[in-house]
Each structure stands twice: as structure tokens, then as C-alpha cells.
Amino acid sequence: MDVSSCDVLVVGGGAAGLRAAIAIAEANLNLRVAVISKVYPMRSHTVSAEGGAAAVIKPNDSLDEHAYDTISGGDWLCDQDAVEAFVNEAPVEMLRLEHWGCPWSRQPDGRVAVRSFGGMKVERTWFAADKTGFHMLHSLFQTTLKYEAIQRYDECFVTKLLVEKGRCQGVVAIEVATGKILAITAKAVILATGGCGKVFPFTTNGAIKTGDGMALAYRAGAPLKDMEFVQYHPTGLPLTGILITEATRSEGGWLLNKDGYRYLQDYDLGKPQPKPVLRSMELGPRDRLSQAFVKEQAKGRTLEGPYGHYVHLDIRHLGEKLIDKKLPFVRALCRKYVNLDPVKEMIPVRPVVHYMMGGIHTDIYGATPLPGLYAAGEAACVSINGANRLGSNSLTECLVFGARAGQAAAAFAAEQKETNPAISAQARDEQRRLEESFLRKTDGKERIAPLREEMHKNMEACAGIYRTGAELKRAAQVLRGLQDRFHDLQLDDRSYTFNTELTAALELSFMLDVAEGIVASAFARQESRGSHQRTDHPQRDDDKFLAHSLAYRSPEGPPRIEHLPVTITRWPPGQRVYGK
Amino acid sequence: MAETITLSVARYRPEEEAEPTVQTYEVPYRKDWVVLDALNYIKDQLDGSLSFRWSCRMGVCGSCGMTVNGEPKLTCAVFLSDYLPGPIRVEPLQYFPIVRDLVVDISDFLEKLQKVKPWIILKEEKPLSEGEYRQTPDQLDTYKQFSMCINCMLCYAACPIYGLEPGFVGPAAIALAQRYNLDSRDMGAQERLDILSQKGGIWDCTFVGECTKVCPENVDPAGAIQQYKLAGAAHWFKSLLLPWGAK
Ligand SMILES: Cc1cc2nc3c(=O)[nH]c(=O)nc-3n(C[C@H](O)[C@H](O)[C@H](O)COP(=O)(O)OP(=O)(O)OC[C@H]3O[C@@H](n4cnc5c(N)ncnc54)[C@H](O)[C@@H]3O)c2cc1C
Ligand code: SF4
Ligand code: FES
């Protein structure tokens, strides 16, 4: 076992983690910062974000409009103080990234260009063609290389948080290349581990998005907030779940059913116009569009292919020139993965699990209830996304709250004395657990893939776009069963060198915890709001549920759910109106 | 009986064997499967001990580069159907030390990348309150192509110079240095040129051009190196002719 230490440890090398690391390096020159990531930072899933990042910069826009779009988009479950901080700091954070070299798309006069996005009343989404996340991540990563204070542990997989005397004081990790156990002590830890789309079978999320940080925090006693809110993106490619960005629709793309009809007009989203209208039709919010698909399917008006039902996304009328300039990645993805050219043919699409509104409960500084533990990015729930995130808010969220968490953690760390030596005993226990439960275990009967498949089936069937109490109850039982069976797991691979079967097993166990959090929170929320639709409770119920769900781990059995009132500042709950 | 296809996969488990070996697996043939899907089938259904890297499965994270039938490829971007009737040979990227099975050690690249200072260098950054640096679409276009590098390492695996001379900075790092040199916001070209004019820098390249051929993102690292050499040569001539005005 290797023991090392730093002042602030950032877990995760995506947009949120890297932004936090730079904030710490800049906040206090005396602090030793480290970024630990299970993949090289530039592989983090931020890399796949396509459409753009929202921040008010143009004179026809205002912070209040951005706040209102976000809050109404989130069906009033957003904490409004968090949203106000977010929209205020978003422009400066985006400019900072411009100064760091991000290749934003530009207007002819050299200023940053913006595009419209779903659920937004004014165009405010900055973009770098349709590879925004890729460019943001690489710009951030390359910028971190200039800070000598930022140390890295690349390809190191965190398995446990070290908590001693009620304070988070570091982590235990596996150095994947060698299998060596690392005990890294820190005065503060920031979890920026991203989302958990892989809990579901059909998702835009990469293999690494397994909710690790959420489960780590939950196991350490911090609650998970609003886990029932899972975003389906309306336009994923069948089979692979590869995302076709919303920017296709903001540029003017149409969603058509099997009769070539723009069916969204039947779902209270406005009437079709030749040019895109903001907050209307194809530019409605994601939850409403994904729900419309399910209803359209029930009416028998979708198409059916080898990978399930789908509708058409038609961008042919945008023309080759615009497509090549603003949506080149979409064209390349379609050609490569569905063997068609969107300049000439319609793209088959269906709703796909995309983003987690819920996450580790934090305050507006990124602090969790566990002293010394912070969280930011998709892993966290501050919450600015409420019951439904607006597209292009989350990349910006990674910057704003990554920076905030970095600053808060730096301030906390500066006040702490050395970490407690007792935690190395804990690290040894963790090493023993990994050996006994996985590497040296010989009597197991279960394999990873079937357990994962069963979790997938169960989540898709019971915790998808529409849910009922009875199904959720069944899902909770199935998950309990899977948790038991997980203890009987047997690995084929017993080596220490780059053992990806071991990391896959640990990821599966993280996902099972996260899945239980989703299902239990969804069961407890007996109303329909945003992305959480209960057919047995079809109305929004502000009297009972204008509140966040908090899922706490209980020693045995499923999580315990509590509720916490939403913070309302200036926008009393209202109706969500689109297409008017 | 469903159709199948054979994958012959390079294995190397340093704790058990001194040399790499080959193992063959029979996997279902599906026309819309990429090679990576077949590897995942093996891992899930046949042999959990096979190790390889992947994440996005959409050609953008740069993790899944391997040698497929002798050529460096992103395994999530080549299809089983490209290699009919098989067998398909899958090996780790060449010229890098093998860690295990299909996983290679790329830490050398990360050190080199840092060495070329791939960040905006300014004498003094203007305050954020003054807003963005103006950059016209044309100015953006001059460096955009070099900014598309996903660090997949295919170009290193294709570069015979890197194979012979591991000290060579290599195609992607040079392309990324040039990406910043050409960025209208940057003032670091000279610093980077000083670094890249040293041993292991641009002059090591004999212009084989394989890097550009294998690049999945059309980054054209060979073009970057060529541009760089011209800039380097011009700078060298200038310093001979006008020793007082070279900077
Ligand atoms: C296809 C796609 C398109 C998107 N498009 C947009 C868009 O246009 N606009 C927008 O605003 N949002 C978009 N999003 C959402 C947005 O990209 C993500 O929410 C955001 O990038 C998350 O960043 P992050 O830093 O929180 O996490 P990630 O980028 O996922 O990074 C997580 C990091 O944590 C590390 N990690 C995880 N677990 C461990 C562990 N156990 N040990 C060590 N390290 C660990 C990983 O290695 C990684 O470095 C998109 C998402 C997807 C999937
Ligand atoms: S230049 Fe091309 S081949 Fe080389 S690492 Fe970058 S993307 Fe890969
Ligand atoms: S898995 Fe990301 S590039 Fe292939």
C-alpha cells in the first residue's frame, strides 16, 4: 500500500473536476492540489457533449430570462438562490474559458456566437461547432498542464472515502496499471465523478458513467438528492444510443412521425412554423418531448425497426452548407453509425437516457453535509436543474459550481490541521475487502454481465419515462435481490495488472446503490413533475412535493427517504407554458 | 445457427507470461457491430479477463485505439463488416510499452504534451471585464483543424520515427503546439519553437506522412510539422541575416 497526501483532492478529471482544480491552484498558492481520475482526464465523458453551454452575453438577453427559463424548465424544483448564483457567474466562467483558448464558434465580427436551445426564450448557448464538450475539456485539460501545483493520479480508481471523526479525510484508490492500493489523505475532497446513465441499458453516456461518486458519498453517509429525476433526451440513435444533439433542432430540424407529421403540435407545444420558434415545438423542453414520443407510440404512429420504435429527425431542409458548418459531427456520426447522410435522408431517433438531475446533496458552495466533502458537476445536485435540466446548462454548471466547490474546499482545507493517522488502518481494511471479496474469492457463482443486464431491464421497465408505484415497488425488490447476489460474485481475472474486470465489478456495485436511490426516491414522490411522471399520480402536487428528495443509506435494506423544501426567491411556482 | 466471426486477440498477462500470446474467440457476427462491441461481447460472455480501454463508443474520447489487421484504428469506429470474412486480428498499438493485453502505456505522450506548452501564452491577460478576445471565423479556421486532436495515439503507432527514436515528441504533440501558435489569442510561438527546435523536436521528422493517413479526425499532423519546419527555417535564416532582429 502506498500512502501519499495532498491538501485538496479532486476526484474526477471532467469539466467540473478540472475547473475545481484550477480554482484551488489560483485561490491559494500554498495548497497542494491533486486530480485523481479513473481514466485520463481528456477521456472523461464531458468530451462527448455536442451542443453547447449557456450563459448570458448578448444585449437582447438578461440574467432574469436565463433564470426564469431554468426554473420553469425545472418545473419549479430548482433552488432559486442556486439558479441566481449560476446565471450570474455563468458569463464570467465562459469568458474565462475563452481566455484559456476554447475555440468557440464566432460571429463575423469576431465576437462569440450563440445558438438557441430547447426551453430557452433567448439564444444564449455558446458552442464550438457541435463538439463543444470536447473542446471545453481539452482546453481545460491543457490549461491545467501549466499549473505546477496541480498533481495528477491518472487511471486511479477510487473505491472508498476515508471518513474519520466525522470528517472526510481522503480516499482509497486502486492504481489500475499495477493494482497497487493507494491511500491518499487530504484535508478536503471534491467529488466530480459525473453522472450515472449506465444504470440504464440505453443511454448516451459512456462506459465510465457509473455513478461512482454518488455511491461513494452515499456510503460515507451523505444523502443523494432528487435521484428520481432522470433525463431522457428525445433524439438518440437506436441501438447505440449515440446522441444527435438538440442543436439539430435549434438550427431548424423537425421531428416527424411515421406519416411525416410534426406530431409535437398535438402535445401542447405550439403550432408548426416554417422557422424555429423559441420555447415551442421542437424547441420545447426535453421531458415534454420524450413524453410526447411515448404517447405517439401508444397511438401507433411511430415507426418500428430492429431496435425498437423510433421517429424521424429531418434536417434535410437545412442544406448541406449549414449542416457542414454547424453540425459536422452529426453528419459524421450518422454516416458512420447508421450509414446514412442526413443531408439527403431522415435520421431515426428515439428517447434515450442522457443526464442525471439528481446527485450528491450540496449547498450553493458545493459543500455536502459531511464536513470536508464537496461535490460538483453532474455528480452533484445543487440544485439548478430541478425536475428537468435545460440543455446546455450542465456544461456551464460544471464551470460555475466546479469553481465554487474548488474555492470552498480550498478555504476549508487551509483551516485544517494535518489529517488523522488512524485512517491508514481504514485503508488497510479496504485493501483487505478488495482482496477477499474479489481478487482472492473462489466460491462465487455470479458473473457481472447477467447481474448488470438484470439491473438494466428492471430500470428500463420500472423507472423509465412513465412510472407507477406498483412497478417501482417491484423494482426495489429486484434491486435488493441483485445486491444479495452481488456478494456471490466471481471474477475470471485475478491479476493486479490493469484488471478491468475488478473495476467493472466495483462499478456494478456503485450502480446498484445508485439504482436503489433512484427507485426509492421515485416511489416516495407521489406526484408528476418534470421528468418524473407517475401515471398513478398524474398531477404536480406543490402542497406536498415542492420539496427535494433526500436518500440516505440505511444499514440494511433500501434507502431512507426524507424531503427538504425548495428554496424560492423571486419566482413563485407557476404553470409551464410552451409554444405560446 | 447465427453467423459468427473469429477474433484473434493479442494477450499479455505479465504476472503469468513473459511474452505476448494470441487467443482466438468466436463471436456472433452482427453487421452493425463495431470491433469494440465484439471485444465487449468477449469480456461479458466468454472471458472476463480480457483487458482493453474504452468509454464513449462514438469516436471522441480517444481511448480505444488498437491495431486491427495491422493498422492503427479506433475500435469503436471500425465495423466487423469491414473485415469479412475474418478472422480479425486485434493487437495493442505498436511502439508503446504493453501494460496488459490490449492496453498500452501512453504516459510518455502526456509528458511530451506538457513539454510543448499546449495552453494560451500571453504577456498579460486582459481582464475578464473587457470581455472576449475577438477572433473572426477566418482566424478560427486557421487553427481549428489542429484543435480536433482526440489524443488517440494512432499517429504515434503509425510513425516509424517514433518507433526508432522514442525521444521524438511526435505528431499529435506537434500538431497541438501548432494549434496554439496559430491561435490569434496566443503569443507563445517563439517559446514553443525553441523547445521544438531541440533534439527530439520537429527536425527528427523525415516526413513519412503516415500520421496524417491514419488520423481519424483529419488533424493532419504531418501538415503541422511541415508548417513548423518552414517557420523554424525562416526563423533560422532570419537570425543568420539579421541577428539583431530575429525576435
Ligand atoms: C452525449 C452527451 C452530450 C451532451 N451534450 C451537452 C451539451 O451540449 N451541453 C451541456 O450543457 N451538457 C451536455 N451534456 C451533459 C454534460 O456533458 C455532462 O453533464 C458534463 O460534461 C459532466 O461533467 P462532469 O465533469 O461532471 O463529469 P465527467 O466529464 O463525466 O467526468 C467524470 C470524471 O470522474 C472520474 N471518475 C468517475 N468515477 C471515478 C472513480 N471511481 N475514481 C476516480 N475517478 C472517477 C472520471 O474518470 C472522469 O474524469 C451531454 C452529455 C452527453 C452524454
Ligand atoms: S493527431 Fe490524429 S491520430 Fe494523432 S492523436 Fe490526434 S487525433 Fe489521434
Ligand atoms: S470508445 Fe471513445 S473513441 Fe472509441
Report the CATH number at residue B93.
3.10.20.30
CA-CA distance, A390 to A70, in Å (whole number)?
A: 6
Same domain, B96 and B115: no
Chain A touched by B14 (CB under 8 Å) = yes
Contact A220, A302 (CB under 8 A): no
Same domain, B98 and B111: no
Rounded to two decimals, the pTM is 0.97
Same domain, B207 and B218: yes
B198 belongs to a structural domain:
yes
Q: Which residue, of B104, B123, B156, is where some domain finishes? A: B104
Same domain, B46 and B144: no
A421-455 burial code (b ≥16 CB/10 A, e <16): eebbebbeebbeebeebbbeeeeeeebbbebbeeb
Given a cut of 50, is residue B246 above it in pLDDT?
A: no
Query: Which residues in chain A touch residue B56, judged by CB atoms under 8 angstroms apart?
Result: 43, 45, 47-48, 206-207
Closest by Cβ to B49, choosing from A47, A143, A492: A492
B48 belongs to a structural domain:
yes
pLDDT digits (tens, 9 = 90+) for B151-168: 999 999 999 999 999 999
CB contact under 8 A, B51 and A498: yes
In this prediction, the residues of chain A whose per-residue pLDDT falls under 70 are 419
Query: Which residues in chain A touch residue B149, judged by CB atoms under 8 angstroms apart?
Result: 138
A305 membership: H or E segment, kind and range: strand A303-305
CB contact under 8 A, B148 and A131: yes
B14 belongs to a structural domain:
yes
CB contact under 8 A, B48 and A501: yes
B247 belongs to a structural domain:
no
pLDDT digits (tens, 9 = 90+) for B191-205: 999 999 999 999 999
pLDDT digits (tens, 9 = 90+) for A104-134: 999 999 999 999 999 999 999 999 999 999 9
Given a cut of 70, is residue B236 above it in pLDDT?
A: no
Contact A167, A372 (CB under 8 A): yes
**Per residue, what are the HEC states of chain B?**
CCCEEEEEEEECCCCCCCCCEEEEEEEECCCCCEHHHHHHHHHHHHCCCCCCCCCCCCCCCCCCEEEECCEEEECCCCEHHHHCCCCEEEECCCCCCEEECCEECCHHHHHHHHHCCCCCCCCCCCCHHHCCCCCCHHHHHHHHHHHHCCCCCHHHHHCHHHHHCCCCCCHHHHHHHHHHHCCCCCCCHHHHHHHHCCCCCHHHCCCCCHHHHHCCCCCCHHHHHHHHHHHHHHHHHHHHHCCCCCC
Same domain, B182 and B65: no
Look up residue A53 and give its amino acid: A
The Å distance, Cα B141 to ligand 2 centre, comes to 18
For residue A376, count other CB atoms closer than 10 A to its CB.
Answer: 38
Given a cut of 60, is residue B245 above it in pLDDT?
A: no
The confidence score (pLDDT) of residue A274 equals 86
B246 belongs to a structural domain:
no
Same domain, B70 and B111: no
SS3 assignment, position A494: coil
Same domain, B132 and B100: no
Closest by Cβ to A43, choosing from B49, B62, B99: B62
B206 belongs to a structural domain:
yes
In the numeric block, which cell numbers belong to residue A577?
407554458
- Would the CA dihedral through B206, B207, B210, B211 be positive or negative? positive
The Å distance, Cα B23 to ligand 2 centre, comes to 29
CA-CA distance, A181 to A65, in Å (whole number)?
A: 49
DSSP conformational letter for A104:
-
Residue of A nearest to B145 (CA): A103
Residue of A nearest to B42 (CA): A449
Same domain, B132 and B46: no
Q: Chain A closest CA to B244's CA: distance in Å? A: 31
Work out the mean pLDDT of chain B and round it to a whole number.
Answer: 93
User: How many distinct structural domains can be found in chain B?
Assistant: 2
Q: Establish whether residue B155 lines the binding site of ligand 2, counting it when its CB lies within 6 angstroms of any ligand atom.
A: yes
CATH of the domain at B227: 1.10.1060.10
Closest by Cβ to A45, choosing from B55, B135, B147: B55
For ligand 1, what atom is nearest to the CA of residue A205? 53
What is the rounded average pLDDT of the residues B221-245? 76
Same domain, B100 and B111: no
The Å distance, Cα B172 to ligand 2 centre, comes to 5
The complex scores an ipTM of: 0.96
Look up residue A171 and give its amino acid: V
Q: Chain A closest CA to B126's CA: distance in Å? A: 8
φ and ψ at residue A200, rounded to 5 degrees: -105, 155
In the numeric block, which cell numbers belong to residue B18?
513473459
Residue of A nearest to B46 (CA): A492
Q: Supply the residues of A annotated as catalytic.
A: 233, 249
Same domain, B183 and B96: no
Residue of B nearest to A237 (CA): B58
Same domain, B167 and B233: yes
Q: Which residue, of B72, B104, B136, is where some domain finishes? A: B104
The Å distance, Cα A554 to ligand 1 centre, comes to 28
The confidence score (pLDDT) of residue A421 equals 74
CB contact under 8 A, A138 and B47: no
Contact A356, A348 (CB under 8 A): no
Confidence of residue B247 (pLDDT cuts 50, 70, 90): very low
CA-CA distance, A483 to A477, in Å (whole number)?
A: 10
Give A141's contacts (C-beta < 8 A, 6+ positions apart): A13, A18, A41, A42
Domain span holding position B11: 4-104
Same domain, B99 and B205: no
Question: Exposure of A565 by Cβ count < 10 A (0-12 exposed, 13-18 middle, 19+ buried)?
Answer: exposed
Give A454's contacts (C-beta < 8 A, 6+ positions apart): A478, A482
- Rounded to an integer, what is the distance from CA A130 to the centroid of its chain? 19
Residues having CB closer than 6 A to ligand 1 are A 11-17, 36-39, 41, 44-46, 48-53, 132-133, 157-158, 192-195, 204-205, 208-209, 212-213, 243, 355, 377-379, 391-395, 398
The confidence score (pLDDT) of residue B241 equals 62
SS3 assignment, position A112: strand
Chain A, 67 to 106: residues with Cβ < 8 Å from chain B are: 92, 95-96, 98-101, 103-106
B79 belongs to a structural domain:
yes
The confidence score (pLDDT) of residue A419 equals 67
- Identify which ligand lies nearest to the alpha carbon of A337: 3
Question: Exposure of A159 by Cβ count < 10 A (0-12 exposed, 13-18 middle, 19+ buried)?
Answer: buried
CA-CA distance, B247 to B242, in Å (whole number)?
A: 10
Q: Which residue, of B74, B104, B134, is where some domain finishes? A: B104
The confidence score (pLDDT) of residue A422 equals 79
Q: Establish whether residue B72 lines the binding site of ligand 2, counting it when its CB lies within 6 angstroms of any ligand atom.
A: no
The confidence score (pLDDT) of residue B1 equals 44
For ligand 1, what atom is nearest to the CA of residue A12? 34
The confidence score (pLDDT) of residue B239 equals 64
B11 belongs to a structural domain:
yes
